[in-house]
């Protein structure tokens, strides 16, 4: 339109018209060129970065020489500095040497003398600017606060008899019972009886006692009977100052800095990089020796700020971006990593394999797994299971915000069927039992809410395909797990209200006895459902965080395990202990595949009430109980039911658990309000 009107002007000379046309075309092509260049620099050019496939990035130590190798594809210069100490306050370098450009964007240097226990940094020059000095992303050991890497002989960090450390036996994934805890929370209380409070070594102490002589720490975990200890992030994170003897700041650790090194605030000496390594290994060794496997909580989906190692070597490459070039925020933390890019995918896979080989960990829980692409997660799973076929991988099947990663590539709950040997948390059972997480006032099945029965049935079969589930009436409108082990059943975890707090908040007029009934009913559903049960640390003693839901940086007084509650609520602890034992003793509650669930688990329409569920588990050959009947009453009134023919033995009556049976029953039975009954023949 503009060009036509310009040419139509009768009083303008042909030359003037040409000038105008030239200007218009100049502006047009300038805009196109600028837009194209801008997008290429911020987004598209990352596809053109060289990919290094070698296994030797990082620091390779030998007494005769140490080889340093990093990937910095657009650097014009890289300097390696060696220091005597790991404290960045000591600014005097022992030496500074330029590294040599190598293949596929790498830079390397060999120091041909023994520099064991020296500290080091790299500094990259790119676009005529020197970037921040610091350790590489593959750093295996660091000094205080992770500002400098440390050259370490890793064999010197092995505890005594480390080569004899073994994974506890595990037959099926559905045999797993997860227990999520935090290094500091478990031991920091004054009444824990643990000497190494808040430290890795706190998990290694035996014979520790709390109020009334109750077992604490490691002995408590063993007494409870759980099989896998899921420890919140234990790699080096940003928010806690390791140099402060009496830590003034608390954090869960979801702000990663150095992914391949343990957190220094959990070590007895944060200045010597070897100490934190050895002490974390001692934790793993102690748990293994006492029959428990170790799950490491990993946070590859974002970093604790953009000054993390990734941007020191390849600015922007390891992160996703919006179309305008800004960092995308699918994690809700200000940035998200780009797992689909070759070098990020390579780093993630090599990192988890390192934790397995060096620290003997038995599996991984992925924070915001939905932000990782399916292909990366499947390649990672393949590598992990090639090393250890029994390793367990699971994660949060969602994102925390918009992400440029296409929906069909996200490792979300609805895509679990595309994932290979990877499980996801079931928010179906969580929200169905206690109420929507997004509505703090909402009630669930255990607190008398109606309309939740089909969602609970969906959870009972482990989110798998079952002919009796009416999916249109459940929270998830279709099964999302191919096999039951892909479903993590839970009602509380670290980043929300404890179960006790949630039930107290949503039932303000309820007595403590009524809250305990709801609590026991909720966990009975979790432990008798197909899939993998998950316990939030302290739930077994009605843990409270005094109403604080997101306590990631709250004081110890909010987050610590108060061992007085184990004495105060001994009955609750014994009930949880009974649930763990019940599940371990009866394979019918942990069937390994969907076909067996369809064959052996049948729902019974015994009572027309949406707050009541009944089902049978029949003829499971591996179970000493021939037939099992589970009755769940989430209503506020007792229910009457005619039992299937024959004499049954009551093993769970809503108050206590006895594997040998509490009493015999037959004919008509009354199930109290807010209670679970388990009967067997």
Rounded CA-CA distance 532/513 in Å is 28
Average pLDDT over residues 36-48: 54
Residue 41: the pLDDT is 38
* Token couple for 536: 């939030």
pLDDT at 17: 32
**What pLDDT sits at residue 25?**
33
Residue 10 has pLDDT above 70, yes or no: no
Q: Assess contact for 579 and 675: CB atoms under 8 A.
A: no
Give me the half-sphere count of Cα atoms (radius 13 Å) on the Cβ side of residue 55. 4
pTM comes to 0.92
Across the range 75-81, mean pLDDT stands at: 98
The pLDDT, as a whole number, for residue 257 is: 97
Topology annotation, domain 173-424+492-590 = TIM Barrel (3.20.20)
pLDDT(678) > 70: yes
Active-site hit among 185, 282, 396, 562: 396
CA distance 616 to 41: 61
Q: Which of 282, 367, 454, 560 is catalytic?
A: 367
297 by DSSP, 3-state: which? strand
Q: How confident is the model at residue 606 (pLDDT cuts 50, 70, 90)?
A: confident
The per-residue pLDDT of the chain, averaged, comes to: 93
Model pLDDT, residue 87: 94
Q: Roughly what angle, to the nearest 10 degrees, separates helices 512-528 and 499-506? A: 130
Coil, strand or helix: which one is 11?
coil
Confidence of residue 608 (pLDDT cuts 50, 70, 90): confident
Confidence at residue 408, expressed as pLDDT on a 0 to 100 scale: 97
Residue 9: pLDDT band by 50, 70, 90 thresholds?
very low
Beta bridge partners of 488: 425, 532
Strand order in the sheet with 106-111: 58-61, 66-71, 106-111, 100-101
What is the CA angle 226-230-232, rounded to 5?
145
pLDDT tens-digit map of 486-505: 999 999 999 999 999 999 99
CATH of domain 58-152: 2.60.40.10
Q: For residues 348 and 414, give the distance between their C-alpha atoms in angstroms, rounded to a whole number.
A: 23
Contacts of 555 (CB under 8 A, 6+ apart): 250
Instruction: Specify the CATH number for 594-680; select among 3.40.710.10, 1.10.3720.10, 3.40.50.720, 2.60.40.1180.
Output: 2.60.40.1180
Supply 234's token pair. 């234990």
pLDDT of residue 163: 97
Q: What is the pLDDT, as a whole number, of residue 540?
A: 98
Rounded to an integer, the average pLDDT of 402-424 is 97
- Is residue 217 within 8 A of residue 187, CB to CB? The reply is yes
Residue 297 annotated in active site? no
The reply to whether 501 belongs to the active site is no
56 close to 41: Cβ distance less than 8 angstroms: no
What mean pLDDT comes out for the span 131-139?
97
Residues 470-482: pLDDT tens digits? Answer: 999 999 999 999 9
Interval 280-303: pLDDT, tens: 999 999 999 999 999 999 999 999
Distance (Å, rounded) from C-alpha 547 to C-alpha 599? Answer: 43
pLDDT in tens, 227-280: 999 999 999 999 999 998 677 789 999 999 999 999 999 999 999 999 999 999
Give percent above pLDDT 70 in the chain.
Answer: 93
- Report the share of the chain in percent with pLDDT over 90: 90
Lowest mean pLDDT among 350-354, 471-475, 478-482, 627-631: 471-475
- Model confidence pLDDT, tens digit, residues 166-202: 999 999 999 999 999 999 999 999 999 999 999 999 9
Specify the pLDDT at position 28. Answer: 34
Residue 21 reports pLDDT greater than 80? no
CB 235 within 8 A of CB 258: yes
Spatial CB neighbours of 99, under 8 Å, sequence gap ≥ 6 = 68, 70, 78, 79, 80, 107, 108, 109, 122
Burial 451-479 (b: 16+ CB within 10 A, else e): ebbbbbbbbbbbbbbbeebeeeebbbeeb
Mean pLDDT score, 366-372: 98
CA dist., res. 677 & res. 661, Å (int): 12
């Amino acid at each position: 339109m503009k060009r036509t009107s310009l040419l139509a002007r009768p009083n303008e000379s042909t030359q003037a018209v040409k000038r105008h046309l030239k200007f218009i075309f100049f502006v047009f092509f300038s805009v196109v060129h600028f837009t194209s260049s801008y997008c290429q620099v911020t987004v598209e050019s990352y596809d053109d970065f060289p990919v290094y496939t070698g296994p030797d990035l990082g620091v390779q130590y030998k007494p005769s020489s140490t080889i340093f190798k990093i990937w910095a594809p657009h650097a014009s210069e890289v300097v390696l500095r060696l220091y005597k100490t790991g404290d960045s306050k000591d600014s005097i370098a022992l030496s500074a040497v330029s590294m040599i450009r190598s293949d596929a964007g790498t830079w390397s240097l060999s120091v041909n003398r023994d520099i064991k226990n020296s500290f080091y940094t790299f500094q990259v020059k790119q676009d005529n600017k020197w970037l921040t000095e610091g350790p590489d992303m593959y750093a295996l050991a660091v000094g205080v606060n992770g500002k400098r890497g440390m050259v370490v002989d890793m064999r010197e960090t092995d505890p005594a008899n480390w080569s004899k450390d073994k994974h506890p036996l595990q037959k099926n994934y559905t045999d797993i019972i997860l227990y999520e805890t935090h290094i500091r929370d478990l031991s920091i209380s004054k009444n824990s009886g643990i000497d190494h409070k808040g430290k890795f070594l706190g998990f290694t102490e035996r014979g520790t006692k709390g109020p009334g002589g109750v077992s604490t720490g490691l002995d408590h975990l063993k007494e409870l009977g759980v099989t896998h200890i899921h420890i919140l992030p234990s790699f080096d994170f940003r928010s806690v100052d390791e140099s402060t003897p009496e830590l003034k700041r608390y954090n869960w650790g979801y702000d990663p800095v150095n992914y391949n090194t343990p957190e220094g605030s959990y070590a007895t000496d944060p200045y010597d990089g070897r100490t934190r390594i050895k002490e974390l290994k001692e934790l793993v060794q102690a748990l293994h020796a006492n029959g428990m496997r170790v799950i490491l909580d990993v946070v590859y989906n974002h970093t604790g700020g953009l000054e993390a190692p990734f941007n020191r070597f390849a600015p922007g490459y390891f992160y996703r971006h919006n179309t305008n070039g800004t960092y995308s925020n699918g994690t809700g933390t200000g940035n998200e990593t780009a797992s689909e890019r070759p070098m990020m995918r390579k780093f993630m896979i090599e990192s988890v394999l390192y934790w397995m080989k060096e620290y003997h960990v038995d599996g991984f829980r992925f924070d915001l797994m939905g932000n990782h692409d399916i292909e990366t997660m499947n390649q990672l799973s393949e590598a992990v299971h090639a090393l250890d076929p029994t390793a367990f991988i699971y994660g949060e099947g969602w994102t925390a915000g918009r992400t440029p990663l296409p929906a069909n590539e996200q490792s979300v709950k609805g895509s679990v069927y595309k994932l290979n040997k990877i499980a996801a948390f079931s928010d179906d059972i969580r929200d169905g039992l206690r109420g929507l997480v997004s509505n703090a006032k909402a009630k669930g099945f255990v607190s008398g809410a109606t309309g939740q029965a089909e969602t609970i049935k969906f959870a009972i079969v482990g989110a798998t395909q079952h002919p009796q589930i009416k999916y249109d009436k459940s929270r998830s409108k279709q099964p999302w797990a191919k096999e039951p082990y892909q479903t993590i059943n839970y009602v509380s975890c670290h980043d929300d209200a404890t179960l006790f707090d949630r039930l107290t908040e949503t039932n303000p007029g309820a007595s403590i006895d009524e809250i305990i009934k709801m609590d026991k009913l909720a966990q009975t559903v979790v432990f008798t459902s197909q899939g993998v049960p998950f316990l939030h640390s302290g739930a077994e003693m009605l843990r409270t965080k005094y109403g604080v839901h997101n306590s990631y940086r709250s004081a110890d007084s909010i987050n610590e395990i108060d061992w007085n509650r184990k004495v105060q609520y001994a009955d609750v602890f014994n009930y949880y202990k009974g649930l763990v034992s019940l599940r371990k003793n009866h394979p019918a509650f942990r069937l390994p595949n969907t076909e067996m669930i369809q064959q052996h688990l049948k729902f019974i329409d015994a009572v027309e009430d949406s707050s009541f569920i009944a089902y049978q588990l029949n003829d499971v050959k591996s179970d000493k109980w021939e037939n099992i009947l589970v009755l769940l009453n989430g209503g506020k009134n007792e229910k009457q039911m005619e039992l299937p023919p024959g004499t049954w033995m009551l093993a769970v009556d809503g108050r206590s658990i006895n594997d040998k049976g509490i009493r015999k029953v037959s004919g008509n039975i009354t199930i109290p309000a807010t209670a679970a009954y388990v009967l067997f023949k």
